[in-house]
């Protein structure tokens, strides 16, 4: 069975768009619903179903051009989502670990060495700085959407910020545990609460890594997206 004009347009969009499957599917469905409404409106004027569908598609415009506009919207939307996630996740993890230390600050009865305390402070500052940067990214994407600017570079920046912060915070945390000594590390992670906090941190880090990777992919120039 030959596909109708509406099916052809939506199939073209589905092939052209890049990004999370669910978001792409929702966008294509919105387009299909809009074309369906336009077709019904033309039919109400007395046109045949086939002619009404052709008119609706003609009003829609060039599918490739529309795909570019939808791709920009999808890229900006995912960049804002990732930035919002980082703005909440990084301070949240800081508070979670601070809570753990507040409940049991010195598991083995010894205070942190000065260099270890400095590294712990560095982890907090890196996380909070990343949260601030994420707010800037989200605001830039929001303002860019209002002005019609391209979001690829900023969304790619969100991905780089995610990976850079994960690497910096992760590396500093590992160094903190190494310099604190095996006895303190064992004592710190010996409680069920510490295991829960560590597991939560790992899950959030994986989530941020996946989101950051998608931002890097969506932030590539569109000619590279089409050839990948």
- Dump pLDDT digits (tens) for 25-57: 999 999 999 999 999 999 999 999 899 999 999
Residues 101 and 190 in one domain: yes
Of 32, 61, 90, which residue constitutes the final position of a domain?
61
Residues 87 and 196 in one domain: yes
Residues 35 and 137 in one domain: no
Residues 154 and 93 in one domain: yes
Residue 101's domain spans which residues?
Answer: 73-227
Residues 99 and 168 in one domain: yes
| Segment 171-227, tens digit of pLDDT | 998 887 777 665 555 556 677 888 888 899 999 999 999 999 999 999 887 544 444
Residue 83 · residue 138 · CB < 8 Å = yes
In a domain, 175, yes or no: yes
How many domains does the chain contain in total? 2
Alpha-carbon gap, residue 128 to 93, rounded angstroms: 10
Residues 28 and 118 in one domain: no
Residues 83 and 186 in one domain: yes
Residues 116 and 84 in one domain: yes
In a domain, 66, yes or no: no
pLDDT reported for residue 153: 92
Alpha-carbon gap, residue 139 to 148, rounded angstroms: 14
Which secondary-structure segment (H or E) carries 180?
Answer: helix 152-180
pLDDT at 228 over 50: no
Residue 67 · residue 211 · CB < 8 Å = no
Residues 98 and 46 in one domain: no
Residues 186 and 133 in one domain: yes
């Amino acid at each position: 069975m030959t596909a109708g004009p509406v099916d052809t347009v939506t199939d073209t969009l589905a092939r052209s768009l890049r990004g999370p499957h669910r978001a792409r599917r929702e966008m294509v469905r919105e387009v299909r619903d809009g074309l369906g409404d336009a077709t019904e409106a033309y039919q109400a004027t007395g046109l045949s179903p086939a002619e009404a569908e052709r008119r609706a598609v003609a009003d829609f415009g060039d599918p490739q051009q529309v795909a570019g506009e939808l791709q920009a919207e999808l890229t900006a939307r995912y960049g804002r989502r990732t930035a919002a996630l980082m703005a909440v996740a990084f301070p949240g993890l800081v508070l979670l670990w601070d809570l753990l230390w507040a409940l049991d600050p010195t598991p083995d009865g010894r205070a942190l060495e000065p260099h270890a305390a400095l590294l712990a402070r560095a982890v907090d500052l890196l996380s909070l700085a990343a949260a601030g940067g994420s707010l800037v990214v989200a605001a830039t994407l929001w303002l860019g959407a209002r002005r019609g600017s391209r979001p690829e570079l900023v969304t790619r920046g969100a991905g780089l910020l995610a990976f850079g912060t994960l690497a910096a915070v992760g590396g500093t945390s590992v160094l903190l545990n190494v310099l604190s000594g095996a006895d303190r590390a064992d004592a710190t992670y010996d409680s069920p609460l510490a295991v829960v906090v560590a597991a939560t941190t790992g899950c959030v880090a994986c989530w941020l890594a996946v989101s950051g990777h998608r931002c890097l992919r969506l932030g590539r120039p569109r000619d590279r997206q089409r050839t990948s």
